[in-house]
Structure 1
Amino acid sequence: MAIQEHIQLAVDKAKAGGEVYFIGIGGIGMSALARYFHARGAKVSGYDKTPTVLTRELEASGIAIHYTDDLSLAPQHPDLVVFTPAIPKDHTELNHFLNNGFVVTKRSDVLGALTNGSFNICVAGTHGKTTISTMVGHVLRHTGFGCNAFLGGISTNYGTNFWSSENDVCVVEADEYDRSFLKLSPNIAVVSAMDADHLDIYGDEKSLQDTFVLFAQQVKEDGLLLHKYGLGRMSEVKGVAKISYSHSYDYAQAYAANVQMHLGGYQFDAVLPGGTIPDVELRVGGMHNVENAMAAIAIAAHLGIEADKIRAAIRDFKGVKRRFEYQLAPEVQEAGAFVQPVFIDDYAHHPEELRALLKSARALFKGRKITVLFQPHLFTRTRDFAEGFGESLSLADEVVLLPIYPARELPIDGVNSEMLLQYISRDNKRIVEKSEVVNWMAQYARTINKEFGEVIITAGAGDIDTLVQPIKQVLEKA
């Protein structure tokens, strides 16, 4: 029997009330699968290296999790073992299951098996995929269309990265890392960006783009491919209907017209191949999110959802945790009153994401000083895009760098945050240890301009998110 058939049988057994064990259960994608099986009545448990807010939520829902690599704490006879590539190869539990005849597989294989036979909306891209997939899932849920959502971020509206529906439609964040998204079979696919990333996996930008073309080519014969306007290589995809989308370029087939900024959000007309939806209101910041909304709106319209329902759903969209997330939102100020600082937290960890983040903040808050606290993520990414990081970070007025967050990697000689400083053209730049950031912010907060207001941004995909609430408290007191 083929390996994929073994996986499919194990997944089906687990769905019917079997036992599933997750090694690395605290990952955003892994936790969505854990929630899925738990909701289906399976016995779910897991291991992770450290407790997090996410693992505590899983435990509170009834999922047993332990935090030491100890076979005595793992289940004896799970029907399915799911692991993340971030787990070390010498992990005792993982090797036990690998060497003793258990069905052990990656998250991508399980996701492929779960969506085998369903109507799938798969959202891919080196940037934007989390927000677009969450927007699509939200619109389908809010309008009553219904879907199962497997997301790579926490929806602010619902406080989760997974929800289910009786409608056999799946919204899936399609991850390019390790070519995982090639396991999916989209009825509708989105490609939002193909910028160089994960070069430790792909080697170069062309290889990464080749894989995105393969993904797009997997759209079913009667399906639809949506892609950001300007992704030239999408022209190589044949035999499927295509729609290009954009935040404002009217060369695209779906775009936002008459865009107006208001109190950290936007109002615009959504121009679509089948007509225009006027007066769409998006209450989250960033022009890139207007673009993301256009992809979600185009999908909803393609599915036949009424314009009024789409408009209401977009207006009610509250965003994704750590995606241009207002911790201290802009407020209408009385004449002569102190202008409170705006505090934004974002997951940006690639030069293009930082560029979009800082340009959006600059456009929304003209004239205000912008200070960014950035934690680089991965030694390889920092090395490969050092110049690009410098150019993007230079869009801020002041830059604070934290040491590199290593994630799954070992240090690389000469690759550090000090190396990045030389590429940042601003004079106001420094490195602050993570343990000293809150103290630094307490000092900095005393100097914040209260007449014009300032913008503080935390960015990065590591553990900088643990500093967000302490920084917020400092700014609120200031």
Structure 2
Amino acid sequence: MNLEHIHHVYFIGIGGVGMSALARYFHAHNKQVMGYDKTPTETTAGLIELGIAVHFEDDAANLDFNQLSIDHTLVVYTPAIPKTHSELNAFIKAGYPVMKRAQVLGLVTQNTYCLAVAGTHGKTTTTSILAHLLYSCDVPLTAFLGGFSENYQSNYISKGTAVTVVEADEFDRSFLTLSPNMACITSMDADHLDIYGDAATLQTSFKDFAAKLKPEGTLFVKQGLTLAGKTYGIEDGSDYCATNIRIHNGTYVFDVQTPSTTLNDIKFNLPGRHNLSNALIALAMAAEYGCPHQQLAKALALYKGVKRRFTYHIKTSELVYIDDYAHHPEEIKAVYQAVKEMFPNRRNVIVFQPHLFSRTRDFAEGFAESLSLFDEVLLLDIYPARELPIAGVDAAWLLEKITQTNKQLISKSDIVQKVKESGASVVLTVGAGDIGEDVKHIKQALELAEK
């Protein structure tokens, strides 16, 4: 498909973080953009503000096929959309070109210098850091992020079209549509077993992704992964290695050993060794691209993070409130490690919303182990997203497996009251479901209670 010939782009699931970034891209390139999403959100409100038409009722009768000519319209959908979706089926039946988001991303990036970030954890933060570093070094880039950058208040960053920065998403094998010039793989822990079946098949898919690099392309892999490439890691002798790590006033200060030199006293403000690792690989990729080391160090110190990635909403001597998107046991462990490193002597409580019945079933023991690390666990019902319930898999079943005795099931309406009753001075809301929509209310209620 030649995107130059496309005049209209119709998105089914336009409010998704990856979909909305593409919608912004096509809008910025003077295409007529419109679409459907299930519910109004801040993201859809932002698109409407740009002049993009968004509606929230799935009714094929609303489609104006006279306006949307087959030869000049592209329909983009997300795999999260059910196969029974009436608009999607109407477009397919009418013969329109219909493509998954990942396929379109492959088209957009194919004639650019593409830097791609893959891995079951750390993709969004690493991509966001990398985009920020390149932007700060005046690289003519377009970046598609899987979250909203605090520096740019957007999931779409543009300063030109010669270079693209993208998340290479393993869900539905989406990343196999990309052919990057430079890529990294941050992790290959088992996930999305509803798609892959087992961990070995998932790892094979990452190897397939590595093979998609363009000739003479550069692959970075986290030290310990069974893939050939330049390595990176923390105090482990990797090609790019973070050493001499200190914490000064809540900020990491560290050195970076590269294959050719040592960069001293690099500063990074996000807590947690997992974030330090993300910063290291972003720095390595930007340095390998050719960005000056001094500019990279300055830009990294100014990086603010991604919305819902260990985001501080309250940070006082009496109360800390953090919100995070973690939805895998290893991610929850990383959040706990960051909390204990930054607030070692303060009592904490986690409010966790499990995401997907299948993921809860497949990693129940891991969830139980990671959640049990916290001083108190408040567990919400499972957020189903694209799934139907699975018999015997629910929040009560997961709660039984948690060994921390200070635990209970709660509803979303109980969150603030139960947090107050906990007496904790470090509060976390965690999960990839709709708990993020409640953060503003929780923050206001906790601040009011503090007064």
Q: Normalising to structure 1: TM-score of the pair?
A: 0.91
1:263 and 1:326 map into 2 onto residues whose CA distance is 15
Amino acid in structure 1 at the alignment position of 2:255: D
Deviation of 1:163 after TM superposition, in Å, equals 1.8
1:98 and 1:382 map into 2 onto residues whose CA distance is 34
1:378 and 1:359 map into 2 onto residues whose CA distance is 24
Residue in 2 aligned with 1:62?
51
Residue in 1 aligned with 2:323?
345
Amino acid in structure 2 at the alignment position of 1:266: Y
Residue in 2 aligned with 1:243?
230
1:121 and 1:170 map into 2 onto residues whose CA distance is 6
State whether residues 261 and 364 of structure 1, in contact with CA within 8 Å, keep that contact through their aligned partners in structure 2.
Answer: no
Match of 2:148 among 151, 154, 159: 154
Residue in 2 aligned with 1:275?
261
Stretches of structure 1 lacking an aligned partner (at least 5 in a row): 1-7, 236-241, 332-338, 449-453
2:430 and 2:157 map into 1 onto residues whose CA distance is 27
Deviation of 1:170 after TM superposition, in Å, equals 0.4
Question: Which has the higher mean CA deviation after the structures are superposed, 362-371 or 95-104?
Answer: 362-371
Residue in 2 aligned with 1:172?
166
State whether residues 223 and 231 of structure 2, in contact with CA within 8 Å, keep that contact through their aligned partners in structure 1.
Answer: yes
Residue in 2 aligned with 1:392?
370
Residue in 1 aligned with 2:438?
467
Deviation of 1:443 after TM superposition, in Å, equals 4.1
Once the two structures are superposed, residues 69-120 of structure 1 have per-residue CA deviations (whole angstroms, 9 ceiling, x without a partner) of 1224334225100011111211111111001110011001101111111100
Matched, 1:210 2:188: no
State whether residues 349 and 419 of structure 2, in contact with CA within 8 Å, keep that contact through their aligned partners in structure 1.
Answer: no
Equivalent residues in 2 for 1:182-201, closer than 5 Å: 182-201=176-195
Residue in 2 aligned with 1:301?
287
Amino acid in structure 2 at the alignment position of 1:40: H
Matched, 1:434 2:419: no
Matched, 1:424 2:402: yes
Once the two structures are superposed, residues 12-34 of structure 1 have per-residue CA deviations (whole angstroms, 9 ceiling, x without a partner) of 323xxx00100000011000100
Amino acid in structure 1 at the alignment position of 2:219: L
2:437 and 2:286 map into 1 onto residues whose CA distance is 35
Matched residue SS, 1:467: helix
Stretches of structure 2 lacking an aligned partner (at least 5 in a row): none
Once the two structures are superposed, residues 336-382 of structure 1 have per-residue CA deviations (whole angstroms, 9 ceiling, x without a partner) of xxx32111111000001001111121112111112111000000000
Over the aligned positions, Cα root-mean-square deviation in angstroms equals: 1.3
Q: Is the alpha carbon distance of 1:443 and 1:250 closer, same or farther for their aligned partners in structure 2, counting shifts above 3 Å?
A: closer
State whether residues 106 and 177 of structure 2, in contact with CA within 8 Å, keep that contact through their aligned partners in structure 1.
Answer: yes
2:426 and 2:421 map into 1 onto residues whose CA distance is 16
Match of 2:388 among 410, 416, 428: 410
Match of 1:86 among 71, 80, 87: 80
Matched residue SS, 1:422: helix
Amino acid in structure 2 at the alignment position of 1:374: F
Amino acid in structure 1 at the alignment position of 2:87: E
Amino acid in structure 2 at the alignment position of 1:352: E
Q: Is the alpha carbon distance of 1:367 and 1:115 closer, same or farther for their aligned partners in structure 2, counting shifts above 3 Å?
A: same
Residue in 2 aligned with 1:95?
89
State whether residues 354 and 393 of structure 1, in contact with CA within 8 Å, keep that contact through their aligned partners in structure 2.
Answer: yes
State whether residues 24 and 47 of structure 1, in contact with CA within 8 Å, keep that contact through their aligned partners in structure 2.
Answer: yes
Deviation of 1:63 after TM superposition, in Å, equals 0.5
Amino acid in structure 1 at the alignment position of 2:182: I
State whether residues 121 and 172 of structure 1, in contact with CA within 8 Å, keep that contact through their aligned partners in structure 2.
Answer: yes
Residue in 1 aligned with 2:29?
40
State whether residues 123 and 191 of structure 1, in contact with CA within 8 Å, keep that contact through their aligned partners in structure 2.
Answer: yes
1:341 and 1:126 map into 2 onto residues whose CA distance is 32
1:251 and 1:311 map into 2 onto residues whose CA distance is 21
Matched residue SS, 2:318: coil
1:285 and 1:265 map into 2 onto residues whose CA distance is 7
- Aligned identity (percent) is 49
2:236 and 2:428 map into 1 onto residues whose CA distance is 31
2:202 and 2:11 map into 1 onto residues whose CA distance is 28
Matched residue SS, 1:56: helix
2:62 and 2:132 map into 1 onto residues whose CA distance is 37
2:63 and 2:379 map into 1 onto residues whose CA distance is 39
Residue in 2 aligned with 1:134?
128
State whether residues 21 and 75 of structure 1, in contact with CA within 8 Å, keep that contact through their aligned partners in structure 2.
Answer: no
Matched residue SS, 2:81: coil
Match of 2:427 among 456, 461, 465: 456
Residue in 2 aligned with 1:3?
none
Matched residue SS, 1:371: strand
Once the two structures are superposed, residues 274-301 of structure 1 have per-residue CA deviations (whole angstroms, 9 ceiling, x without a partner) of 2111111111111111100000110111
Deviation of 1:442 after TM superposition, in Å, equals 4.3
Residue in 2 aligned with 1:318?
304
Residue in 2 aligned with 1:252?
238
State whether residues 139 and 159 of structure 2, in contact with CA within 8 Å, keep that contact through their aligned partners in structure 1.
Answer: no
2:248 and 2:318 map into 1 onto residues whose CA distance is 17
Once the two structures are superposed, residues 239-284 of structure 1 have per-residue CA deviations (whole angstroms, 9 ceiling, x without a partner) of xxx21111x2332111211111233331111221121111111111
2:247 and 2:323 map into 1 onto residues whose CA distance is 20
Amino acid in structure 2 at the alignment position of 1:23: I
2:160 and 2:400 map into 1 onto residues whose CA distance is 54
Q: Is the alpha carbon distance of 1:309 and 1:167 closer, same or farther for their aligned partners in structure 2, counting shifts above 3 Å?
A: farther
Count matched residues: 444
Matched, 1:29 2:23: no
Residue in 2 aligned with 1:371?
349
2:401 and 2:263 map into 1 onto residues whose CA distance is 44
Amino acid in structure 2 at the alignment position of 1:270: V
Residue in 1 aligned with 2:60?
71
